[in-house]
Amino acid sequence: MHGGMVPTDRLLAFAAMSFLLIVVPGPSVLFVIGRALAQGRRAALTTVAGNTVGAYVLVLAVAFGVGSVVERSVLVFTTLKLAGAAYLVYLGVKAWRGRGSLRAAFAEDVSAGAAGHGGLRTFWEGFAVGVTNPKTIVFFAAVLPQFVDRGQGGVAVQMLLLGLVFNLIALVSDAVWGLVAATARGWFARSPRRLSLVGGVGGLTMIGLGMTVAVTGRKD
């Protein structure tokens, strides 16, 4: 084993843990599903791409030191956590209030040839959700470092590798969610009530997630 390699058993354990965290629909998944329903497959996948890049920026930050700052400083950790929680609640309230407008977004989208509002803007919105996803921040800052084998050296490299594993799993999972939602668009389009239900449930879930994040303490 040379420096910067993560032992296989740790890698597998980390992958399993990542999978569990990712499959439970968090803010990024809900965001992707919302995009898929309102704007279709392409917008959903563009959002997933932005999301993934955003999450990897977090990995880079953790690997190169923000992680240790967050670990050592309760203030920084709490600030990040509360900012993330507030953003989630904000997104949730927005989704809940706009649940009726999903139908309008649908109609508008069909007439606009599903162009939505520009691939680049869609990508950056996905990026913003990815880089501010409190679930991911907490996971990378608190869980990721535990899987690093300090004896191997190259700690930053190991963290980048583990982060890549996490991101690949997230990419596949989010893309599947997006494609399933995009495929089910027709079913939703037939009944506006179904659409506002999805927006409502998604919104409430995000508000709930935000509040959960806000009250979750450090597990020291």
Which amino acid is present at 187?
A: W
Could you state, in order of their start, the residue ranges of all structural domains in the chain? 8-215
Confidence of residue 54 (pLDDT cuts 50, 70, 90): very high
* pTM, two decimal places: 0.66
pLDDT digits (tens, 9 = 90+) for 150-194: 777 777 888 888 899 999 998 998 899 889 888 887 777 777 677
pLDDT of residue 49: 94
Name the 3-class secondary structure at 21. helix
H or E stretch covering 90: helix 74-97
Mean pLDDT of 100-111: 59
CB atoms within 10 A of CB 149: 15
Q: Are 41 and 179 in contact (CB under 8 A)?
A: yes
pLDDT of residue 51: 92
> In whole angstroms, what is the distance from residue 63 CA to residue 84 CA?
20
pLDDT digits (tens, 9 = 90+) for 14-39: 888 888 777 666 667 777 877 887 77
Name the 3-class secondary structure at 220. coil
How does DSSP classify residue 116? T
Q: Are 129 and 54 in contact (CB under 8 A)?
A: yes
